[in-house]
Structure 1
């Protein structure tokens, strides 16, 4: 074997005593064809003869063991098996116990044909992500189609001094296996060898009819095991519409005890912090700002933009927050460090705030998990200002505005770092401003259209659009707006294939204003269009403006049995005018159609003002956001969005062509339609 000198990140040795101890003869005995395996092979499915997984935890380490044998009947699967990457954290070791193939009934040891490289896993370091992770690259030579590959290995994480949370608490989530695979035998074992009891909660398990069963909670004392065993097994979960069954294992606790455990750690850090002592120059700047709103904006933007965000993946759950004096001096820190510094600054200027623990990635699942500090992977700051709660992510950049105008952070669950806390639910909200406030006008004279669009963005939209204009080529921006109008004006149905730069050949877009206090970013687009009318197959002409961004297709198309719809849309307001020197049909149904929707989760109105030469539609959309739509309300919610999509997201006008015959034709069409 190449690289026979073993690095500290990997070893080749026998399994530990708690793991399986399987001989070569037992391996061969377990790799037997059956009616089930033949059926899977005939259907073109790769087959795993057995998978034995074990998770072992004690007060000094976490370990994962796996032994499996699977077919290499598919060329792509063979290719993936030949080169494998295993990422290990700091103080974690990858241990190879066995690499073999069963070829024509003969067991062949492949460790001599295995090349191992240890690589740094630092591909994100330029973005402020620091990780001492290592990548174990394993290349197995001479794997052949129709081999059966046997892999037996472990990962062992030994806790260092700074892994105090993992030493104190266990957290592991077992998820049902990939539905791609068929298993002859599947076994999972959780072994608790900790002094403290580990609770486990079974969630989204189903009965024989596919109905979700009520969650079930049980407990494992030290030395006890939990085991799942299946034979001739396929996980038939519909991953597009169902949540796969999972089991959450966590050291038995409750939110009150957990908050009482973590809050003294932060309080100790705050007790050491005196802003005038370690940051006198910053205090001087703060003292010169007399307006409290401006002072708060300055504090937030100072930490966000002047303190570099360094995300150390190994230390996120593994060490105490960095002292704010160190963060300030080094001008860098992770989310905990930046949040703690921001709170210290806010304490100095007399604004109430607290540090909170969140996990944006698994927010939906937190209500199903057992209480655990290891559920959270991020820290932000909750600010109570003028009797309203605001949530500030100190790790963000290029966020602007007084606190009520800043970007909105969507999430539901959080734990406040204070004594005697329960898990909190962030309340639903209604915006006090329009994130999109847009006025558009298309004026058609002598078969030439003049189009003007003015859009004011605010909040998250302003921050994102500001970044977009800063980082994107101007020509690309114009092309994006041109493409929007190609569909909005319905040109995609009568001049498809035409270069957009020909249709909108003099298009320009400019930043009109950028107010960093109100966090309002306004742009204006202008262009001239030859033949601005959409012409159908019967040579009827129309002016049309239907903005599909107004339609919330994510709500209309949502299909899931288990996950509820997360409502996170913006307030929007539109004024759309179509004017022409031609006569229009002022009685056409979709020209004059208006709508009023008062759903519990959003209000929507469209109002029209129609003249003989055009019309204007006023659209107002105000949702209740930051909440899950309950299943019992969702179909009514979806139907309301279908109503928006039923020609209530813009305006169209029919042109009545000049001449007696044309008007007679039009009159007959209306009469008989």
Structure 2
């Protein structure tokens, strides 16, 4: 499951654009632009709470032609020392290749006196590649300003403008501005000026918008008072943003966005003669389907993922020949290379824009290029659609068995595209996290010990996840991970298990076998040793909210399909076990069954779990928790067993008691 991160209102602004080329950062100092409204603080009746009070958040953007200016004004007050610690460092992010940072004012008001705190030589400029861990380099810079002598009760003001926009956009009249944060705001002011009429919407709550026109420009103004903070909850679906925002765009249709994207992809798509010869050889040897699978595998595995997103390459792909020469590329580079290779094979394929962070939520967007942050392939083969992510790895060989990454909605970059397209898997099996787990317990009741053999079979998406783990971890890490998982249920497990795996790339399946020695297997209750089995393979997919009373949906793992069986052989006698009847739970969120039966000298318990949806609506969480509790209880199966020696002692004692009784008579 994916969760969105929201930057703090108070000290940071992040402009989500990429740079044109390496350039020295340009930090300037000036008065505010003459087109902006510099606002005073407001008097609010809201009581002061928390560590920081935000008196004013003022965002104004001006779009004309391909030029853009973004003005930001903040007035805030630390209410205690914790608040001072939170806001005493100001951090401004920008891309110097096409943006200039203009600082207008940094000051404080103390005891009714306005004190200038702007020192031009006090800024610390440094490069900050926040996305480098994700293999993306875009040359982002930060300007850090450390406020000195800040005390609770000071009124802190700062204003700045970021001038410039990415030239890759034929037009830049689109964006989104947040209207709420976890912090409450006394006054939130937003103004967007454009030389073209704009469309707009709100993420949650509609607020009044004043629309005016002056000298050919359109202005959209929002002036909100006493904006309540939004409770910070976790565990909500990645496609849900709990904060309200104002999205605007000069685009009217997705066809217009597609037209913009089509122009970016009009690059030289020719391939080297050697690669064309290789493709022809694959087709001759493997057939068309085999050659397509081989081409996908080549781009996914042999061309590493790394993106240097400078200038037009923030959105425009490099040529296939350049990507091949460097042997690396980002999503759009690898996607275009694969598209070109498939075109040589005579297979229809298109790059497709998606959002890896918002999924289905983009269906509510006003058309805009900012909706998307990723590119994948739409491949049409034998009249079937396949959605393939060229940046993925470890997906196996055959296109029929590659796991399906469900971004839910996409915009194929093709002449005929008019709207977003729903993504559907080529088959249900490739979209599911599917696992089949077989456990065999050999229990010695006298020694209270057990040997545990586990055989796990994973397919498609789940096989890819497990494969990545085995490819990236060493043997000690693998043993530690598996042992600690088992120890969560059986603390007496030996720390040196035997773990082996067998991989089948052609079918995209993977098998793992595990062997453990477990001491102190049973827990003692009233001088009895109670043994337990657990549906442990299901537990990682379950969601129990930290906050059951919620204002946001609860995210669930989906789609999940897990079967787990536990076969128990007992050296001793099984005296008691929980009910052997089938337990079934069926609700809007999942189905679950547990079946137990007696064997000649043991037990067999089978668990089956299948998810139905990826979330629980907030109003349904109480009912979900009732079902969750039933499931949680059913995942543990208990039984009582005695050793053979205990039985012999018991039988001997019974005989002695019988003899004593006869003598007395």
Same topology, TM > 0.5: yes
Specify whether residues 343 and 602 from structure 1 end up closer, same or farther in structure 2 by C-alpha distance, changes over 3 A only: farther
Specify whether residues 310 and 138 from structure 1 end up closer, same or farther in structure 2 by C-alpha distance, changes over 3 A only: same
Alignment of 1:121-160 (within 5 A): 121-122=128-129, 125=132, 128-160=135-167
What's 1:198 paired with?
Answer: 198
Does residue 652 of structure 2 align to residue 652 of structure 1?
no
Q: Decide whether the 8 Å contact of 2:483 with 2:495 is kept in 1.
A: no
- 1:603 shift after superposition: 4.8
What's 1:259 paired with?
Answer: 258
Distance 1:335 1:621 in 2: 35
Q: Decide whether the 8 Å contact of 2:559 with 2:611 is kept in 1.
A: yes
Q: Decide whether the 8 Å contact of 2:210 with 2:220 is kept in 1.
A: no
Distance 2:378 2:111 in 1: 64
Q: Decide whether the 8 Å contact of 2:543 with 2:555 is kept in 1.
A: no
Q: Decide whether the 8 Å contact of 2:537 with 2:564 is kept in 1.
A: no
Specify whether residues 181 and 556 from structure 1 end up closer, same or farther in structure 2 by C-alpha distance, changes over 3 A only: closer
Alignment of 1:530-541 (within 5 A): 530-536=519-525, 538-541=526-529
What's 1:178 paired with?
Answer: 181
Q: Could you tell me which of 186, 189, 201 is aligned with 1:187?
A: 189
SS at match of 1:435: strand
Q: Could you tell me which of 392, 397, 422 is aligned with 2:393?
A: 397
TM-score by length of 1: 0.81
TM-score by length of 2: 0.82
What's 1:465 paired with?
Answer: 466
Distance 2:210 2:406 in 1: 33
Specify whether residues 109 and 377 from structure 1 end up closer, same or farther in structure 2 by C-alpha distance, changes over 3 A only: same
What's 1:430 paired with?
Answer: 428
SS at match of 2:231: coil
Q: Decide whether the 8 Å contact of 1:435 with 1:460 is kept in 2.
A: yes
Q: Decide whether the 8 Å contact of 2:66 with 2:171 is kept in 1.
A: no
Query: Which segment drifts farther, 416-425 or 283-292?
Result: 283-292
Distance 2:320 2:438 in 1: 47
Q: Decide whether the 8 Å contact of 2:433 with 2:462 is kept in 1.
A: no
Alignment of 1:473-484 (within 5 A): 473-484=474-485
Specify whether residues 317 and 251 from structure 1 end up closer, same or farther in structure 2 by C-alpha distance, changes over 3 A only: farther
- 1:243 shift after superposition: 2.2
What's 1:452 paired with?
Answer: 453
Distance 2:59 2:209 in 1: 21
SS at match of 1:527: strand
What's 1:571 paired with?
Answer: 561
Q: Could you tell me which of 566, 571, 584 is aligned with 1:581?
A: 571
Distance 1:565 1:223 in 2: 43
SS at match of 1:191: strand
What's 2:62 paired with?
Answer: 56
SS at match of 1:431: helix
- 1:380 shift after superposition: 0.3
What's 1:12 paired with?
Answer: 29
- 1:652 shift after superposition: 2.7
SS at match of 2:164: strand
Q: Decide whether the 8 Å contact of 1:46 with 1:182 is kept in 2.
A: no
What's 2:659 paired with?
Answer: none
SS at match of 1:409: coil
Distance 1:301 1:465 in 2: 18
Distance 1:652 1:459 in 2: 33
Structure 1: runs of 5 or more not aligned: 1-5, 206-212, 492-502, 664-673
- 1:100 shift after superposition: 0.9
Specify whether residues 256 and 651 from structure 1 end up closer, same or farther in structure 2 by C-alpha distance, changes over 3 A only: same
Q: Number of matched residues?
A: 611
SS at match of 1:578: strand
Alignment of 1:344-493 (within 5 A): 344-418=340-414, 419-427=416-424, 430-431=428-429, 435-445=434-444, 446-447=446-447, 448-489=449-490, 491=491
Distance 1:595 1:404 in 2: 36
SS at match of 1:652: strand
What's 1:228 paired with?
Answer: 222
